[in-house]
Amino acid sequence: MVNEYEIKKQICDIGKRIYDKGMVASNDGNISVKIGENEFLCTPTGVSKGFMTPDYICKVDGDGKVISATGNFRPSSEIKMHMRVYKQRPDVKAVVHAHPLYATSFAIAGVPLTAPIMPEAVIALGCVPIADYGTPSTEEIPDAVEKYLQHFDAVLLANHGALSFSDSLLSAYHKMESVEFYAQLLYQSKQLGGPKELSKEQVKRLYEVRRAFGMTGKHPADICLNAKAGVQSCHNCHQGVEEGGCSSSCSDAELIAQITKKVMESLGK
């Protein structure tokens, strides 16, 4: 049985962390946690996420409609974005949206985080694509993000910020931290003459490490058995998802079909 009060406290803790770490300014950012099939806790709109107490936290249903909220608190204006993630990804139990400095700079410059530059980022995140710009609070952002949800656990939002999601609140937060650290490293190594990227072989071995760890979530190492299927991965192609093997058309079913075709071909059938 979920202890709602404890989860509200955890949301406040994570809110304080993203604020203290400078991942959100002023009243920016939002956090949600799935507590039942059709019940979610979320941060209220228009408050600093660094100074919340459990009574701030709202409870909503799967359409983002208020189930309970204290006083004048109302759910985040971005609740539709959170709900789209939960709808498309039944494995996800928590969503974090923030505006971390470096990751948001990449999102503004239109540069996806696809360069394989350090083992931890390759293992934890794979690549981080950029979803097209959408007006906050409308269906535009959920619509733009949707095509990436089956393939990634973190997405940059063009000219806006970053979104991460996972099977626990701490893990969703950690993914946001990893995105920002990765973006910062990429930015700073670019100042030092450009990163020396890991080779395809090194990336492949890191994917194998990730598989061996049995890590949860969506990742090129899990979803696109690129090497086996003879299809490029987004790390290998370095072009982001549109031109690589992890495009929105790269569904599990398609991959299985591709792999089956290869196997049949190799058997001469």
Q: CB of residue 95 vs ligand 13P: minimum separation in angstroms? A: 11
∠ CA 151-30-104, nearest 5°, is 65
Q: CB of residue 72 vs ligand 13P: minimum separation in angstroms? A: 13
Helices (H), 40-191: 79-88, 101-109, 119-124, 140-146, 169-191
Point out which residues bind ligand 13P (CB under 6 A): 27-30, 43, 45-46, 76-78, 136
∠ CA 161-45-88, nearest 5°, is 60
In the block, tokens 């061996």 appear at 212
- Report, as residue numbers or ranges, the catalytic residues: 78
Q: Return the number of the residue (73 or 181) whose C-beta is nearest ligand 13P.
A: 73
Of the candidates 8, 17, 137, 138, the one whose C-alpha atom is nearest the C-alpha of residue 69 is: 8
**Measured between alpha carbons, how far is 140 from 143 in angstroms, rounded to an integer?**
5
Q: CB of residue 46 vs ligand 13P: minimum separation in angstroms? A: 5
137: left (phi over 0), alpha (psi -120 to 50) or beta: left
* H/E element, 210: helix 200-213
Q: CB of residue 25 vs ligand 13P: minimum separation in angstroms? A: 9
Q: Return the number of the residue (96 or 234) whose C-beta is nearest ligand 13P.
A: 96
Q: Return the number of the residue (49 or 89) whose C-beta is nearest ligand 13P.
A: 49
∠ CA 142-218-50, nearest 5°, is 60
Q: Return the number of the residue (28 or 167) whose C-beta is nearest ligand 13P.
A: 28
